[in-house]
Amino acid sequence: MKIDTQALDEMVRKISAVIPDDLKSARQSLEKNARIATESVFQRLDLVTREEFDVQEKMLSNSQLRVKKLEQRIQELENKILDK
């Protein structure tokens, strides 16, 4: 999954915002380390993008519809066999 860098940057900004300005060097180091740590966590979570999720959701919906139609068709064929 490609990480949304805008969202990641926003998280890093929020984390670094709690560091006082007089600790500027520590703040810069924290921003760098927070970004690396956050990227690492995201990569381990094995997340998917919204687009990938939407595609899979659509495929599942189509599959469920197809199964329903096939079940109906099977029922119709079974009814024909039993009527003979």
- Considering the domain architecture, whether residues 56 and 30 belong to the same structural domain is answered as no
Q: Provide the number of structural domains found in the chain.
A: 2
52 shares a domain with 34? no
CA distances from 21 to 5, 14, 16, 28 (A): 24, 14, 10, 10
Residue 2 — very low, low, confident or very high, per pLDDT cuts 50/70/90?
low
Do both 43 and 2 map to the same domain?
A: yes
H/E element, 68? helix 50-83
pLDDT of residue 47: 78
Q: How far is CA 33 from CA 28, 30, 73, in A?
A: 9, 5, 59
Q: Is 83 exposed, middle or buried (0-12, 13-18, 19+ CB in 10 A)?
A: exposed
pLDDT in tens, 17-43: 777 777 767 777 877 887 788 778 877
At 3 the three-state DSSP class reads coil
